[in-house]
Structure 1
Amino acid sequence: MFRPISRAWLVVDIIGAVVGFALTAAVPLAPGSGGLSVWIADGGWSTAAYIVVGAIIWGAAAIARLSPALALSIAWVGAILQMAAGLPPVPFDFGVLVVLFATAAWGSTRLLWFGGASALGGGVIGGAYFGVAWTGELITDAASVMRAALTSVLLGSLFVLAMVMSWGAGLLWRVILRGRATEVAKAQAEMLAAEEQERVRIARDMHDIVAHSLAVVIAQADGARYAAATKPEMATEALGTIAQTARGALSDVRMLLTQLRHRQGDGPQPTLADLETLFAQVRNAGIEPRITVDPMPPGEPPGAIQLAVYRILQEALTNAIRHGDGAVDVHLAWLPDRVEVQVRNTVAGAPVPQLGPSGHGLIGMRERAQLVGGNLQAERRGTQFVVHASLPIGEAP
């Protein structure tokens, strides 16, 4: 029944209704204005009754934004009282137009159509009433009937036109408000989607960095523990590798957290020039990757492709450190229109179940490939686990 509106708008509506009542209801009563003041003096309605009806109609206008349904009901009560007392069309009837506007602009869907029906029905009823009651003569013959009918049609057309235009203006405002709400909702949805994509990207980067670095640290720590008793110098070297790897991971994590906290740009990202550092970390973990690059890159590949190649190799080599037996083959083929990445490693120990897409690392690799328009397969082939990615780099120059 009542809409939630701000107190400021309610005050504005009340003040506007008071001003509208003062202008439309008081002016016809001014001395020398003729018309209504003469009609009242000749024994028509009392001034008090006239003011009451005007107050009812403008009171409906005052709460039209707060409760369009209640305002429409009150306006109908005022209009019926006006016709029951034989009062002619008066300026305070403009308050009805305000109510019709409100029913279309802020009312429910059902009230919207009630308001439209009221505009049509009220105009027709008002035209018929005033055409018959205010023709200025008694209806005694066919000519007077015709004059009354023509007057009713003319007045009814004017009333319907005014009321429908007011209702239509409210309907237009309703469409504008819904359009604005749709745009706001769309902008919020796009913002949330962008934030979610950014969180997924940072989570993916975080997984790639932390998982790889921890795999290297764990491998080095295990080696240092076994070598400490027989070869202390190897333990010292392993501890140095652990410290270096941890510092690099900490720097990358801080950069990602800064992006997440301050919404800065992507910052420096790994490129093909950083692959040798990645391979060195793998070697320090006790695995010697056999690397083949054939053919070589045709010029400078796009930055997104370089990042995807680096992250896919990083995750694949991390899996090789965790689950392999120390042998891993890396093959890069920089073709004119795409790059083929393949990593093979023998699975250590007894046969393990087929690895599915449930792990975050495999999902991250697939997302990396899909983001640049490529594809990736990761599957168990006999005793080997194979990761193969094909990433487009555009046509050859």
Structure 2
Amino acid sequence: MFRRLTRTQLVVDLVAAGLFVLATVPFDLAIGRYTDHNALGTVLVSLVMGIALGLRRASPSLALTVAWSGAILQMALGRPPTTADVAIFGVLYTTAAYGGRRTFWAGLTSVGIGAAAITLYVFVPSVIAVGITASTITTALAVTIAAMFGLGLAWTTGALVRTGIRARENRRAQEVAQAETAAEAERTRIARDMHDVVAHSLAVVIAQADGARYAAAADPDAAPAALGTISTTARAALSDVRMLLMQLRHAQAEGPQPTLADLEQLYAQVRAAGVALAVDVDPAPRGEVPASVQLAVYRILQEALTNALRHGAGGVVGVTLAWHDDRVELSVVNDVGPAVAAEPDAPRGHGLIGMRERAQLVGGVLAAGPGDDGRFAVRATLPIGATGPTAGTASTGEIS
């Protein structure tokens, strides 16, 4: 029933109500001397209307009820309209501006009923005494129209204010929703980057650790080399993870992202893990490649090579890049391990999902799965200069 108001609003409303009573009581008492009405009735009506005015924002529905009580009291005492009745306009305004749905329509109903009540209260005594005349009907109609206009104007003004408040609230809610969507997209991007960094680095570390353990007996010098690769890979992963965590703490800090210049370091890490890697770039980029496409190419290659390292069966892993004027075509082909060969369509993780998302973000298409020759292939086509996703994706299998 009561709206939440600030302390300032409560003080303003109470002070306004008090000043209203103090101003209307002397004025109406002065009028009452000439109309022969008692002072107690004047004070009661002004006090009730002052209470309604003080409650108008805190509880529009209660204020409307109190205002109607004051009007009924005034008519019961036989008092003519006085300055205290001005409070009704403020109450009707707040019922439309701040009231609930029922209070809103109750205020509109009060406009019509109030105008009719004013007309009847003013003209019924004269009709009883004199009878119905053309002059009485004309005057009563004019009073009804004037009363409905005055009361309706107060209510309509409140309704317009209500519309403005709703528009501001909707705009604020839309801004909040857009901010939350942007934050969620940023968190998703960071989570995807975290997955790519950690999955690739751990795959290299595990491969080096296993290789060093098996080769330690036959080749003691293999262990230091493997440990050096593990150390380099782990340090690079730690640096990337720290950068991503910094972005989580400071949403405005974008941080550096991998580019095509970092591909050689990626290839070196994979080769250091014991993978025979054949890279073919034909044709090479002819101009500046958009940063979004560079990042997508790097992350797709990183994830595809990580899959080849974790799930491949050895042999040469082929990487091809073809930079055309309007697109880049890339592929990673490797022999599949026993688990993938036995169940090529079994879902195993989020790696391919991430690669497909990378391709979609720049408007590209990605397909992955075993080919006719039994080798697993990841192939993607990314437009150069696209502004958003314009193509679908196809994929078989889910290898993390």
Give the alignment's TM-score, normalised by structure 2: 0.91
Q: Deviations over 1:340-363 (max 9, x none)?
A: 111111102362323466622111
> Helix, strand or coil: the match of 1:100?
helix
Q: Which residue of 2 aligns with 1:302?
A: 290
Number of equivalent positions: 383
CA displacement 1:281-301 (0-9 Å, x = unmatched): 010011111111122112111
Check conservation: 1:124, 1:157, Cα contact below 8 A: no
Give the equivalent residue in structure 1 for 2:395.
none
Q: CA RMSD in A?
A: 1.9
Residue matched to 2:319: 330
Question: Where do 1:264-279 residues align within 5 Å?
Answer: 264-279=252-267
1:6 equivalenced with 2:6 (yes/no): yes
Q: Counterpart in 2 of 1:393?
A: 384
Of 79, 89, 107, the match for 1:87: 79
- Which residue does 1:111 correspond to in 2? 103
Letter of the aligned partner of 1:54 in structure 2?
A: S
Q: Which shows bigger deviation, 123-132 or 283-292?
A: 123-132
- How many Å separate the matches in 1 of 2:131 and 2:308? 108
Q: What amino acid maps onto 1:97 in structure 2?
A: F
**Contact 1:258 1:264 (C-alpha < 8 Å) held by counterparts:** no
Q: What do the CA deviations read for 1:94-117 (whole angstroms, capped 9, x no partner)? A: 111111111111211122111101
Report if the CA contact (8 A) 1:14-1:62 is conserved.
yes
Match of 2:32 among 36, 39, 50: 36
Is residue 129–residue 152 contact of structure 1 (8 Å, CA) maintained in 2? no
| Residue of structure 2 equivalent to 1:343 | 332
Per-residue displacement from partner, 1:317-376 (whole Å, max 9, x unpaired)?
A: 000000002231111111111111111111023623234666221111111111111121
Residue 56 of structure 1: aligned partner: 48
Give, in angstroms, the shift of residue 49 of structure 1. 1.1
The change in CA–CA distance for 1:357 and 1:61 in structure 2 (over 3 A counts) is: farther
Structure 2 gaps of 5+ residues are 387-400
Q: Tell me which residue corresponds to 1:98.
A: 90
**Greater Cα shift, 54-63 or 309-318:** 54-63
Query: Which residues in structure 2 correspond to 1:350-361 (within 5 Å)?
Result: 351-355=341-345, 359-361=349-351
* 1:17-166 → structure 2 map (5 Å cutoff): 17-30=17-30, 35-40=31-36, 45-133=37-125, 139-140=129-130, 145-166=133-154
Query: Normalising by structure 1, what TM-score?
Result: 0.92
Partners of 2:24 and 2:48 in 1: how far apart? 13
Q: Which runs of 4+ in 1 moved over 3 A?
A: 355-358
SS at match of 1:2: coil
Assess if the C-alpha contact under 8 Å between 1:58 and 1:95 holds in 2. yes
Contact 2:92–2:151 (Cα < 8 Å) also in 1: yes
Secondary structure of the structure 1 residue equivalent to 2:81: coil
- TM-aligned CA deviation for residue 251 of structure 1: 0.6
Q: Percent identical across equivalent pairs?
A: 50
2:3 is aligned with what amino acid? R
CA offsets per residue over residues 135-191 of structure 1, 9 Å max, x none?
6x984366xx23322222222222111111111111111111111111111111111
Q: Which residue of 2 aligns with 1:284?
A: 272
Q: Residue by residue, what CA displacement relative to the aligned partner does 1:264-321 show, whole Å, maximum 9, x if unpaired? A: 3322111111111111101001111111112211211111101100000000000000
Q: 1:306 to 1:146 in 2, by over 3 A?
A: same
Structure 1's unaligned 5+ residue stretches are none
Mean alpha-carbon deviation: is it higher for 260-269 or for 270-279? 260-269
Cα distance in 1 for partners of 2:25, 2:140 equals 24
Change (3 A) 1:138 1:125: closer
**Are 1:187 and 2:175 an aligned pair?**
yes
Q: Which amino acid aligns with 2:13?
A: D
